Amino acid sequence: MSKYWSELVRGLEPYVPGEQPKDRKYIKLNTNENPYPPSPAVLEVIHKHTGNDLRLYPDPDGDILKTAIANYFQVKKKNVFVGNGSDEVLAFAFMTFFKQKKQILYPDITYSFYPVYSRIFEIEAATIPLTGDFRISLADYPIDNGGIIFPNPNAPTGRLLTLEQIESLLKRNTESVVIVDEAYVDFGGNSCIPLINNYPNLLVIQTLSKSRSLAGIRVGFAVGASELIDGLERAKNCFNSYTLDRLALVAATAAINDRIYFETKCQAIIATREWVKNELEKLGFEVIPSAANFVLIQHQNRKAGELFSALRQRGVLVRYFKLPRIDNHLRVTIGTDGEMQEFIKQLQAILSGGRPAT
Amino acid sequence: MSKYWSELVRGLEPYVPGEQPKDRKYIKLNTNENPYPPSPAVLEVIHKHTGNDLRLYPDPDGDILKTAIANYFQVKKKNVFVGNGSDEVLAFAFMTFFKQKKQILYPDITYSFYPVYSRIFEIEAATIPLTGDFRISLADYPIDNGGIIFPNPNAPTGRLLTLEQIESLLKRNTESVVIVDEAYVDFGGNSCIPLINNYPNLLVIQTLSKSRSLAGIRVGFAVGASELIDGLERAKNCFNSYTLDRLALVAATAAINDRIYFETKCQAIIATREWVKNELEKLGFEVIPSAANFVLIQHQNRKAGELFSALRQRGVLVRYFKLPRIDNHLRVTIGTDGEMQEFIKQLQAILSGGRPAT
């Protein structure tokens, strides 16, 4: 703390991302990265653009990427906003749509960056509890609000809402912006993007960090009515003119354009997830049905904290949140088949009381 | 404008960066990019890191880059903050140090992003006029302020303050943060960074976009007392955990480490600038003494707006701000010797009333 900090910054509690360990090599199932490499087309296009033009500013509007996203989702370029990871897109969205007098609403168990944004932009927020079986119940969201945000599927539960459920909310909640954070939608859900033409207050946010294997490149985007996108552009252009560098723009464009690679890898992760779910259930875990690249699990008689530590000792990193209602759960990212076989093997050893095979 | 925008965003006036033309090929002297390519070491390291690891998040702390910068300036890693271009670093600095009740101060003619940040973070600002010959007079800055920021050398004038002048301000202004924006310092100035050990309220911001030829990669940094850096980290971690991607981190590190390439190119640009200044004076221009990679010029009897348009028609882009006090000036980036010879040639033709040689 320093006397030179603003009162705002003194009061902040930063988001804590999952550990990026430097001490040893782990099977890393803690930050929902994709176990498969990016499309070869991505690597090729980066190599091609690594040259003298890096001395020049990138296109501040990111036109090539917006065009690729617009084509992919069959919307217009003016319906697309791009940013330095979906976290940055979320930050601009909070600033643009949620910074107002009424409370915004989000689930009590959800992406833990939402309360952080609320604090930094001085937005009042209220949480709406998930149901007992960890479902988002949109009927519980009162329409007198300053905005609504939720991930679909939700994180860290993995539970999915149907488009009908979301559309039913949009029909009655017309006076504030509804943000659907689709970071994980490609692993089993349907995107809300087709609804943007009917609902001018719907903003859909996606990332290339998960399903397109580009966490290391930092690209996210939003799709919505052009008036919403204009507002995001305005906020962004008051903060940083060039948020996406030249290589990120071409890499993300290539990733969006390689549809077959993307679909193949998503299918592989879904298949692995269903295998893991089955194995975990055999080991006495309750596994919340997931449409994401992770599962939230709870053992019938072993404490999550103990399992977390035992797995870590055996070289497997998972995520343990220690938060109300999920303080006995672990979130496990879906890795490759080989990684998940090893994870299950180590769990079997831990549960049978064996020592780590170091 | 949309009813869904927050009041804050409705009131914003975004920063407008220099044109990035797509219609034809220009000699581009309008956005202060470096005419020379990045160090070959930068391109090599990007190629080397373009691989499967792009699926993984980057180090959110950017340790390798902070270490390189700390070594270069002989400070500690805890004295260094890194961000997605110096604009993002400036944004976090405004949020962290300037968002308070007292007015912040900056020159009336300066980087036009400062008023934009003031507006978006709802900070009161007052401008202090440059002297008649466009110098910053730090003695004119009252100490009852919420913070002071100025570029050194100033933009778009190019005029330099000495370290003694800055230290004299720091001696009397101890209760608010003083930010020295050194985007252009490598083209003829001395960095204030050695002063950070004596002045806990001094923050120095630099960019790799100009002197290190990496505008296309988006990296900037701040150096200051560790308590100031901690505040910036806190703001950043409430906004976006991973602002620098994997390739930007290694590229910027390689650029900082290739000291000889950097110094050679800075010297080349300085030599070209002095040649251009001389040629411009022969053509009847007043050239403000510049320590930057640009010159601010005014012709004794031709209007800046006309010259701007005539140059553009002839394929040379320069910057014309149309702002009070400098609405008859042009800012011209220093390009290669060949580009500047062509610029002078086209100016000669314009001034002698010739038609464009198309």
A7-37+260-351 maps to CATH 3.90.1150.10? yes
Strands A294-299 and A330-333 turn out to be: antiparallel
Query: What is the per-residue pLDDT across B226-237, written as a single tens digit (0 to 9) for each?
Result: 999 999 999 999
Element (H, E) at A344: helix A337-351
pLDDT for the residue numbered B358: 47
Locate tokens 């691989």: which residue?
B51
Please answer yes or no on whether B4 and A218 come within 8 Å at the CB atom.
Answer: no
Q: Please state the rounded mean pLDDT for residues B108-122.
A: 96
A146 at B interface, C-beta within 8 A: no
- Provide CATH 3.40.640.10 ranges for chain B: 40-258
Cα–Cα distance, B294 to B305 (Å, whole number): 18
d(CA A243, CA B85): 8
The residues, ordered by sequence, that sit 6+ positions from B253 with a Cβ below 8 Å of its Cβ are B45, B64, B65, B68
A176 touches chain B (CB under 8 A): yes
* pLDDT bucket at B90, cuts 50 / 70 / 90: very high
User: Beta strand B316-317 with B27-28: parallel, antiparallel or unpaired?
Assistant: parallel
Give the pLDDT of residue B349: 96
Q: Mapping DSSP to helix (H, G, I), strand (E, B) and coil, where does residue A212 land?
A: coil
List of chain B residues whose C-beta atoms are within 8 Å of the C-beta of residue A239 = 87-88, 91, 117, 120
Query: How high is the pLDDT of residue A356?
Result: 54
Q: For residue A358, what pLDDT is reported?
A: 47
3-state secondary structure of A187: helix
Name the pTM for this structure: 0.96
**For A22, which DSSP code?**
-
Q: Which of residues 23-62 of A touch B (CB under 8 A)?
A: 28, 31, 33-38, 42-43, 46-47, 50-60
Report the pLDDT averaged over residues B112-137.
Answer: 96
pLDDT at A23: 75
Task: State the number of CA atoms in the 13 A half-sphere of A281 facing the CB.
Answer: 9
Residue type, B75: V
What digits encode the pLDDT tens for the residues B325-339?
999 999 999 999 999
- With helix as H, strand as E and coil as C, how does A98-131 read? HCCCCCEEEECCCCCHHHHHHHHCCCCEEEECCC
Separation between Cα atoms, residue B339 and residue A235, nearest integer Å: 36
Beta-carbon contacts below 8 Å between A and B: 261
pLDDT at B158 over 90: yes
A342 reaches B (C-beta below 8 A): no
State percent of chain B over pLDDT 70: 99
Residue pair B302/B164 in contact by the 8 Å Cβ criterion: no
CA A12 vs CA A101, A248, B88, B274: distances in Å: 20, 30, 19, 48
Residues counted in chain A: 358
Which part of chain B is CATH 3.90.1150.10? 7-37+260-351
Question: How many C-alpha atoms does B80 have within 13 Å on its Cβ side?
Answer: 23
Supply B156's token pair: 């778009």
- Whether residues B60 and A100 touch (CB distance < 8 A) is answered with no
Would an 8 Å CB–CB cutoff place B186 in contact with chain A? no
Cα A119 from Cα A131, distance rounded (Å) = 26
Q: Is the pLDDT of residue B114 over 50?
A: yes
Give Cα A124 distance to the centre of its chain: 22
**DSSP-derived secondary structure letter, A336:** -
Six token digits for residue A192 = 């809300």
Would the pLDDT of B194 be above 60? yes
Phi, psi for residue A331 in degrees, rounded to 5: -105, 125
Which residue type occupies A246?
Answer: R
The CATH number that domain B40-258 falls under is 3.40.640.10
SS3 track for chain B:
CCCCCCHHHHCCCCCCCCCCCCCCCCEECCCCCCCCCCCHHHHHHHHHHCCHHHHCCCCCCCHHHHHHHHHHHCCCHHHEEEECHHHHHHHHHHHHHHCCCCCEEEECCCCCHHHHHHHHCCCCEEEECCCCCCCCCHHHCCCCCCEEEEECCCCCCCCCCCHHHHHHHHHHCCCCCEEEECCCHHHCCCCCHHHHHCCCCEEEEEECCCCCCCCCCCCEEEEECHHHHHHHHHHHHCCCCCCCCHHHHHHHHHHHHCHHHHHHHHHHHHHHHHHHHHHHHHCCEEECCCCCCEEEEEECCCCHHHHHHHHHHCCEECECCCCCCCCCCEEEECCCHHHHHHHHHHHHHHHCCCCCCC
User: How crowded is residue B305: how many other Cβ atoms within 10 Å of its Cβ?
Assistant: 13
Chosen from A6, A27, A116 to mutate, greatest number of chain B CBs within 10 A? A6
Residue A295: its H or E element: strand A294-299
* Ranges under pLDDT 70 in chain A: 354-358
